[in-house]
């Protein structure tokens, strides 16, 4: 049996030091083996691709935007009208729809002529209450004005909803007329008022003229130069009995 030699100061020899180092090295090796086993169980770490790295480094880069779809065309829609089984009302709806399709304006607006005509007819029927002559005359006047080639704005306003079915159902002929016709009627009204005022205010009473309406000769006349100086004057006559007015040159 070998006895380790004690060196001065109580330290052991080289053999004892080697044994002590080996004892300390075994636990360190066990720890490294355990760590390696844990890493194998966890699996390999995901490697970041080289393509993602530039995007992460440069935040100013954005994904390309997808092209936007063009907006769908706006279509004028109207609430559905009650269905009718009356033959007269169904025929009126068909004629109103045909009037709304004049010049194909409904295609540009995207309006449903059948549904719109049903709405107009329903409003007319509710206002009149039956399908007698008043109802038919009302429908006939709507059709003639909607088909008027000189008044396309009325039809377009109805198709786009600027004039509602409730409004077109009760509008008068004067209200449905074109702007040009309204100006003509306005000028004619002013002319009639002017003629009436001239005959009443500055006229001369006479029995030289015979009224064509009541055959009386109690009249008042006024002469006015309405045209050029070399043209004859215009004579305005009013009957003092029945109010009939006429003029001649």
Q: Token digits for 81?
A: 């009208």
Please give the helix or strand (H or E) that residue 248 lies within, else none. strand 245-248
> Where are the CATH 2.20.25.10 domain residues in the chain?
204-248
Higher per-residue confidence, 58 vs 242: 242
* Contact indicator for 146, 95 with CB cutoff of 8 Å: no
Instruction: Select the highest-mean-pLDDT range: 49-53, 164-168, 175-179, 219-223.
Output: 164-168
Report the C-alpha gap between 56 and 132 in whole angstroms: 81
**Is 140's pLDDT higher than 80?**
yes
Question: Counting Cβ atoms within 10 Å, is residue 191 exposed (0-12), middle (13-18) or buried (19+)?
Answer: exposed
The predicted pLDDT at position 165 comes to: 92
Report the C-alpha gap between 119 and 113 in whole angstroms: 10
* Rg of the chain in Å (alpha carbons): 52
Please give the helix or strand (H or E) that residue 27 lies within, else none. helix 14-42
pLDDT band, residue 107 (cuts 50/70/90): confident
Quote the mean pLDDT of the chain.
Answer: 76
Rounded to an integer, the average pLDDT of 123-140 is 94
Report the C-alpha gap between 201 and 236 in whole angstroms: 12
pLDDT band, residue 25 (cuts 50/70/90): very low
Instruction: Select the highest-mean-pLDDT range: 11-20, 85-94, 202-211.
Output: 85-94
State if pTM tops 0.75: no
165-170: which pairs have CB atoms within 8 A and are 24 or more residues apart?
A: 165/78, 165/116, 165/119, 165/120, 165/122, 165/123, 166/123, 168/120, 168/123, 168/142, 169/120, 169/123, 169/124, 169/127, 169/138, 169/142, 170/123, 170/127
The predicted pLDDT at position 42 comes to: 58
Report the C-alpha gap between 199 and 211 in whole angstroms: 14
From the options 3.40.50.720, 2.20.25.10, 3.30.830.10, 1.10.3470.10, give the CATH code of 204-248.
2.20.25.10
| Residue 244: CB atoms within 10 Å | 15
């Amino acid at each position: 049996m070998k006895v380790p030699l004690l060196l001065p100061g109580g330290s052991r020899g080289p053999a004892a030091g080697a044994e002590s180092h080996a004892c300390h090295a075994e636990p360190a090796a066990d720890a490294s083996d355990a760590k390696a086993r844990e890493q194998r169980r966890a699996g390999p770490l995901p490697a970041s691709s080289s393509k993602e790295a530039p995007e992460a480094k440069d935040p100013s880069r954005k994904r390309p935007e997808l092209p936007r779809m063009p907006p769908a065309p706006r279509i004028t829609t109207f609430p559905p009208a009650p269905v009718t089984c009356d033959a007269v009302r169904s025929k009126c709806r068909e004629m109103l729809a045909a009037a709304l399709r004049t010049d194909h304006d409904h295609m540009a607006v995207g309006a449903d002529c059948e549904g719109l005509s049903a709405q107009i007819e329903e409003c007319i029927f509710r206002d009149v209450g039956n399908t007698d002559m008043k109802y038919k005359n009302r429908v006939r006047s709507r059709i003639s004005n909607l088909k008027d080639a000189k008044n396309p704005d009325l039809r377009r306003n109805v198709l786009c909803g600027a004039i509602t079915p409730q409004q077109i159902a009760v509008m008068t002929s004067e209200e449905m007329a074109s702007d040009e016709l309204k100006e003509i009627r306005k000028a004619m009204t002013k002319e009639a008022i002017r003629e009436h005022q001239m005959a009443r205010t500055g006229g001369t009473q006479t029995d030289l003229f015979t009224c064509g309406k009541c055959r009386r000769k109690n009249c008042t006349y006024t002469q006015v130069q309405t045209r050029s100086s070399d043209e004859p004057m215009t004579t305005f006559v009013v009957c003092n009995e029945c109010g009939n007015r006429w003029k001649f040159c």
